[in-house]
Structure 1
């Protein structure tokens, strides 16, 4: 019997502008943070590269500390870049992305997962840029938001029409694995169980607007 293989072979997580100063302004910001924390744990288990940005850090501050990006106990990013452009697809991010190991197979494009803010601005423009590069893009509906909650479903509908996959964090993790026989399945199943309550809360708020 052949060894089970993952369904998605070339994923990368993009964390868009989850900064402390946005906390009071963004609709259900704690739920976005909780989903991102879960995805970071999944990335550690599945060895998925992480790319992060801040928007105009000198004015809007650092990435939220509880994400633990590049901290001793957290996950190391491939790049944690500051930007003034709205899209994350800046020269610094593109360079770090190009430095990733070759895809499997070598001609394959990557599966890019996006969480962060704001849905209708930075998340949208990052998604459009990645789609134009030919990558498959997954926007996690339980991991994105905006200052105005009404912007979120409009942005997700547009991105779906542009060719992105709008899905949820749990659905994406199981799609990435594709087979309960892979080595990391038990750890991911444990993570899903541990985050059951926060996942439910995120779905009940962010995915019903």
Structure 2
């Protein structure tokens, strides 16, 4: 039997990682590191990327190190601006509709208790599988984060880590892209450790 991926129809959601928020968000650089890792994996595994900004005319573009929708950077299925807190804008919904009826949606970004939570709940209500990456989300007030994650678990969201999700997404060391994913994991080993120690303290 041919090697198959464990997670079917995955899509990566990057929520409002804008430069303007850098000074305000708890451990913002760590969230960026996790987003970068998942963006690299998305290119290897051909996972569509949905990105949003919150009121970009006032709050500015996404962080430049993510390289979203720039020449030679990560091309997104949709990169939409919004005033909604949920990422499910008409543009995002249209892009999702082209991918099939049930997606496995993995979310990173900010803020955990507002835009990430509302996006996750909307996706659940529409029948999608939802993963929120604990080492890839944050808020201005760090105390909001565990409360939001606990609520999301109770709603049916899978709260997991970026490395766990990557291995689950691949599911089989026999798939063609596994060596490249292992490369991403190895190259980000120290930063993953640092991020977990700051964003996922027990």
Q: TM-score scaled by structure 1?
A: 0.95
Q: 1:174 aligns with which of 145, 153, 167?
A: 167
Partner of 1:139: 132
State how far apart, in whole Å, the 1-side matches of 2:96 and 2:128 are: 12
Question: How many equivalent residue pairs?
Answer: 202
State how far apart, in whole Å, the 2-side matches of 1:126 and 1:91 are: 13
Partner of 2:154: 161
State how far apart, in whole Å, the 2-side matches of 1:91 and 1:118 are: 21
RMSD of Structure 2 on Structure 1 (CA)? 0.9
CA displacement, residues 152-203 of structure 1 (integer Å, 9 cap, x when unaligned) = 0000000000000000000000000110000000000011000001100110
Partner of 2:81: 82
Runs of 4+ in 1 over 6 A off after TM superposition: none
Where in structure 2 are there 5+ consecutive unaligned residues?
none
Partner of 1:13: 12
State how far apart, in whole Å, the 2-side matches of 1:134 and 1:9 are: 14
State how far apart, in whole Å, the 1-side matches of 2:149 and 2:53 are: 22
CA displacement, residues 65-122 of structure 1 (integer Å, 9 cap, x when unaligned) = 100011222211011100001000111110111122x4xxxxx621000000000000
1:38 and 2:37 are equivalent in the alignment:
yes
State how far apart, in whole Å, the 2-side matches of 1:110 and 1:98 are: 10
Q: TM-score scaled by structure 2?
A: 0.98
State how far apart, in whole Å, the 1-side matches of 2:122 and 2:112 are: 14
Partner of 1:63: 62
Where in structure 1 are there 5+ consecutive unaligned residues?
103-107
1:137 aligned counterpart, secondary structure: strand
User: Once the 2 structures are TM-superposed, how far is the Cα of residue 4 of structure 1 from its aligned partner?
Assistant: 0.5
Partner of 1:187: 180
